[in-house]
Amino acid sequence: MAEASGPLVGLRVVEFVSIGPGPHCAMLLSDQGADVVRIDRPGGNGWPNPIMDRGRTVMTLDIRSDEGRDRAIALCDTADVLIEGFRPGVMERLGLGPDVLCGRNDRLVYGRMTGWGQDGPLAQTAGHDINYIAMTGALAAMGHAGERSPPPLNLVGDFGGGSMFLAFGIMAALWERERSGRGQVVEAAIVEGVSNLMTMFTGLTPSGRISLHRDRNPLAGAAPYYRTYMCADGRQIAVGAIEPQFWAQLLTTLGIACDRPSDLQREAAWPETTRLLEAAFASQPCAHWTALFHGTDACVYPVLTTQEALHDPHLQARGTFVDQHGIPHTAPAPRFSRTPGAIQDGRTADPTKTLWSTA
């Protein structure tokens, strides 16, 4: 197994297998050097993912059996962090709840990932990313006026409001443990994480600086300076020329003459200005606009597919993607100047053997 590298080297993490945000959070910790052991169920989680599942030691246990539960408890006795994403009460029924595990290991940071939270009227109800962002107001603010809200993949709920907040909570609890010597339970509820992500919008709406109505929200595609446009070849170009100086450069590069560029940026002019830009971008293929805007401050970039992103010159120069056993992976992020992270090799552990000592 490749030697671990990163600021979290020496951190021991037990991940109880789940789908989506839990595995992503564990990947983030592993990429920064943590020793992550996944307790898998026989047959796996049904969603094998060679990229997001990287960097673990996998131990298959039936935690519903006495033997499997005892081995899981023994592993958690010497762990720093636990990650679980079951419905509320499941870990307690299995004899693996915080009272048991934190009672045995008072330094354990017990990370819990749910959609609705550990309590509340919907706590025991099934749900997915689209339901969580629907509750928070995020989904209602997305898309075009008069049309249904498009699900933004599951980036906003599962990963933005879920795994990122769980990772942040775990690191905050570890920082506090340096002073108190004690771990604690970290509860990350996706509905709360997404509500937190929405604070920029909810904080600005009372002042009138921004609107969450889709036909008036400049960051939801209503404004001509922040949306995508179709090119002559059917490809899309993304425009983000919010600031006046960037907007002026956009118009100049497109060859649109205007004595006062700000006049075309006013909300009352949005429909007319949008039609003007739609006609301009539709006149040439995407490659033409990509070359024309390259290196400018007009905030224009082609809309790439994930496969095209692998070959983007900027991302290649940054080393954003790395090859691992013939599969392109995202490099560990964020980056550290002294203790850079690295993708660890995974392995399968013998469930009858002890992985970590009590030292």
Give CA–CA dist 187/204, Å, rounded.
28
CA–CA dist 116, 118 (Å, integer): 7
Say whether 36 sits in a helix, a strand or coil.
strand
Q: Which residues pair with 324 in a beta bridge?
A: 327
The two tokens of residue 273 are 């200005």
Confirm if 189 and 129 have CB atoms less than 8 A apart.
no
Cα–Cα dist 79/106, whole Å? 10
Q: Kindly state the tokens that stand for 169.
A: 């909570």
Residue-wise burial string across 82-106, b where 16 or more C-beta atoms lie within 10 A, e elsewhere: bbbbbebeebeebbbbbebbbeebe
Question: What DSSP designation does 45 have?
Answer: -
**Interatomic CA distance for residues 346 and 298, integer angstroms:** 43
Rounded Cα gap, residues 31 and 59, in angstroms: 19
Q: Which of 62, 128, 144, 215 is catalytic?
A: 128
Nearest to 81 by CA among 35, 128, 132, 129: 35
Residue 128 annotated in active site: yes
- Closest listed residue to residue 242, CA positions, set 300, 323, 172: 300
Residue whose C-alpha is closest to residue 152's, from 175, 184, 130: 130
Phi, psi angles (nearest 5°) of residue 230: -85, 140
- Rounded to 5°, angle at Cα 185 from 29 and 179: 80
Phi-psi region of 325 (alpha: psi -120 to 50; beta: other; left: phi over 0): left
Cross-strand bridge partners of residue 199: none
Inter-axis angle of helices 190-197 and 129-136, to 10 degrees? 50
Q: Which of 24, 80, 158, 329 is catalytic?
A: 158
158 catalytic? Reply is: yes
Which residues are identified as catalytic? Answer: 128, 158
